[in-house]
Amino acid sequence: MSSFKEISSLKLFDGYQKRYSHHSSTNNWEMKFAIYLPPNALKGDKCPVMLWLTGRTLGEWGFTNKSGIQRFAAKNGFIIAAPEPTPRGIEPKDEKGELPVGAQYGYYVDATVDPWSKHYNMYSYIVDEFYSLLTSTVFPVKPDLIGLSGHSMGGTASIPIALRNPDKFLSVTSMSGNYIPTKTERGQEIFNIYLGSDVESWKVYDPIHVIKSYEGPERTIFIDVGGADPVMDDAFDSDLFDAFRGTNLSLEFKIRSGYHHAYEYIQSFVEDHLLWHKTIFDAHR
């Protein structure tokens, strides 16, 4: 594991909200992450973790700055870890000197198409490199009590990442993801950019296909969407619910009436997601 350096440290609810940077061998670039250490972690107690995958528009600081999660994390003794969603500062420009679509996403996949494949390997970064960093001796983490959550692009990715790695992630929740990306115009566009035209290679990052093929231990997935969110108009259909049939998976699905896609929605319900992980962790102890 590469060494890392502290960028900032602020006291919050008797814990500390910190930001770090490190060189990622997976992405061949400097990556940043935010981590909240609750009061009991500062005393040396090992803590459960809620690992958050953010959407495309904000860096590692977005979720921890805007969600208010620290109040709930301090109360329940949770570490909150939020890695950067994509490598920043290396985005190739198009012929007009503008950022192409690929530079704006990342989608938590391992890109196989140039020029993205050198730096955009976010799936392996989360599952291998960042997971190893998080569970190292630096942070007082309980490695058997890590839950994965995310919003938007991160909400799309949290399900396949957690289900493909049930030995690393004990629980999973998702807020306002694209649950049928291989069926939507934007999902197809992004997968084609990073993975090429082989549709089969897309399926390991598509929640529905990963759910259908899941053969791991029993899990219940918590999916949460805003009822007034226009992004969700084509983000799920009956295929999502049908995918669970015949698997070891069950679904808790909530539509929040009147809520949109932005951080007001996250602020309103993020505690539910932390408590979802806590309930599962408490039963596992």
Active site residue 261: yes
Encoded amino acid at 193, one letter: I
3-state DSSP assignment of residue 37: strand
Do 164 and 212 touch, CB atoms closer than 8 A? no
Q: How many CB atoms lie within 10 A of CB 93?
A: 10
CA dist., res. 217 & res. 172, Å (int): 13
| Catalytic site residue from 110, 206, 224, 229 | 229
Report the b/e string of 200-234 with b at 16+ CB within 10 A: eebbebbbbbbbbebeeeebebbbbbbeebebbee
**Any catalytic annotation for residue 198?**
no
Contacts of 182 (CB under 8 A, 6+ apart): 188, 191, 199, 202, 203, 206, 208, 209
Angle at 106 between CA 162 and CA 153, to 5 degrees: 55
Catalytic residue list contains 229: yes
Could you give the maximum distance between any two Cα atoms of the chain, in Å? 55
Active-site residue, selected from the candidate residues 119, 151, 209, 261:
261
DSSP state letters, 195-232: H-S-HHHHGGG-HHHHHHT--SS-EEEEEEEETT-GGG
Considering the candidates 24, 67, 152, 158, report the single residue annotated as catalytic. Answer: 152
Which residues, 6+ apart, have CB-to-CB distance to 10 below 8 Å?
16, 17, 18
Please name the residue that has the structure tokens 């539509």. Answer: 255
User: At residue 15, what is the residue type?
Assistant: G
Where in the sequence numbering do the catalytic residues fall? 152, 229, 261
